[in-house]
Chains A and B, each alone.
Chain A
Amino acid sequence: MEKEEMISMLEKMIRIRKFEERVVDLFAKGKIPGFVHSYIGEEAVAVGACSVLKDNDFITSTHRGHGHLIAKGGNLNYMMAELYGKKTGYCKGKGGSMHIADLDLGILGANGIVGAGLPIAIGSGLSIKVRGTDQVTVCFFGDGASNRGTFHESLNVASIWKLPVVFMNENNHYAISFSQKKSMAIPNISDRATAYGIPGLTVDGNDVIAVYEAVKEAVKRARNGEGPTLIEAKTYRYRGHFEGDPTTYRSREEVEDWKKKDPINVFEDKLLARDFITKKEIEDIEKEVVDEVEETVKFAEESPYPNPEETLEDVYA
Chain B
Amino acid sequence: MMRKISYLMAVNEALSEEMARDKNVVLFGEDVGIFGGCFGVTQGLFNKFGSERIKDTPISETAIIGLAVGSAATGIRPVAELMFMDFAGVAMDEILNQAAKMRYMFGGKAKLPLVIRMPYGAGISAAAQHSQSLEAWFTHIPGLKVVMPSTPYDVKGLLKSSIRDDNPVIFLEHKVLYGASGEVPEDEYLIPLGKGDIKKEGKDVTVVATGMMVHKALEAASNLEGEGISVEVIDPRTLVPLDEGIIINSVKKTGRVVITHEAPKRSGFGAEISAIIAEKAFPYLKKGIVRICGKDTPVPFSPPLEQFYIPQTQDIINGIKYVMG
Contacts and interface: CB of A to CB of B under 8 A. Distances in A.
Interface in B55-100: 55, 57-58, 60, 62-63, 65-76, 78, 93-94, 97-98
A93 B109 CA distance: 12
Given A92-B108, A124-B71, A130-B76, A157 B103 contact: no
A312 to B, nearest CB: 10
A89 interface: yes
B270 interface: no
Nearest to A126: B71
**Residue from A95, A118, A120 whose CB has the most chain B CB atoms within 10 Å:** A120
A228 to B, nearest CB: 13
Contacts of A126: 26, 28, 55, 67, 70-71, 76, 78
Contacts of A92: 107-108
A124 B24 CA distance: 13
B26 A94 contact: no
Nearest to A317: B166
Nearest to B61: A153
A59 B253 CA distance: 56
A131 B103 contact: no
A116 B73 CA distance: 14
Nearest to B108: A314
A119 B67 contact: yes
A316 B103 contact: yes
Contacts of A227: none
B68 to A, nearest CB: 6
Interface in A104-146: 108-109, 111-113, 116, 118-131
Contacts of A150: 62-63, 66
Given A58-B74, A120-B73, A101 B106 contact: yes
B10 to A, nearest CB: 26
A103 B73 CA distance: 9
Given A119-B63, A120-B66, A130-B71, A161 B106 contact: no
Given A150-B62, A154-B63, A316-B167, A113 B107 contact: no
A93 B53 CA distance: 37
A92 B53 CA distance: 36
B74 to A, nearest CB: 4
Given A116-B98, A126-B70, A156 B58 contact: yes
B102 interface: yes
A313 interface: yes
A111 B101 CA distance: 11
Contacts of A101: 105-106, 109-110
Contacts, number: 147
B60 A153 contact: yes
A60 B103 CA distance: 15
B62 A121 contact: no
**Residue from A91, A108, A130, A160 whose CB has the most chain B CB atoms within 10 Å:** A130
A68 interface: no
Contacts of A127: 70-71, 74-76
Nearest to B94: A119
Interface residues of A, number: 46
A154 B66 contact: yes
A153 B69 CA distance: 15
A244 interface: no
A90 interface: yes
B130 interface: no
B249 to A, nearest CB: 24
A315 interface: yes
B179 interface: no
B137 interface: no
A91 B67 contact: no
B142 A120 contact: no
A163 to B, nearest CB: 9
Interface in A66-116: 89-95, 99, 101-103, 108-109, 111-113, 116
B74 A124 contact: yes
| Leading 4 A-B pairs by shortest Cβ distance | A119-B66, A123-B70, A314-B108, A91-B107
Interface of B: 24, 26, 28, 52-53, 55, 57-58, 60, 62-63, 65-76, 78, 93-94, 97-98, 102-113, 142-143, 145, 166-167
22 contacts: A91-B109, A92-B107, A94-B104, A99-B105, A101-B110, A108-B74, A109-B102, A116-B98, A122-B67, A123-B66, A124-B71, A126-B70, A127-B71, A130-B24, A130-B71, A130-B76, A150-B63, A156-B58, A316-B103, A316-B167, A317-B103, A317-B112
Interface of A: 58, 60, 89-95, 99, 101-103, 108-109, 111-113, 116, 118-131, 149-150, 153-154, 156-157, 160-161, 313-317
Given A101-B106, A112-B97, A124-B71, 4 more contacts: A101-B109, A116-B97, A118-B66, A119-B69
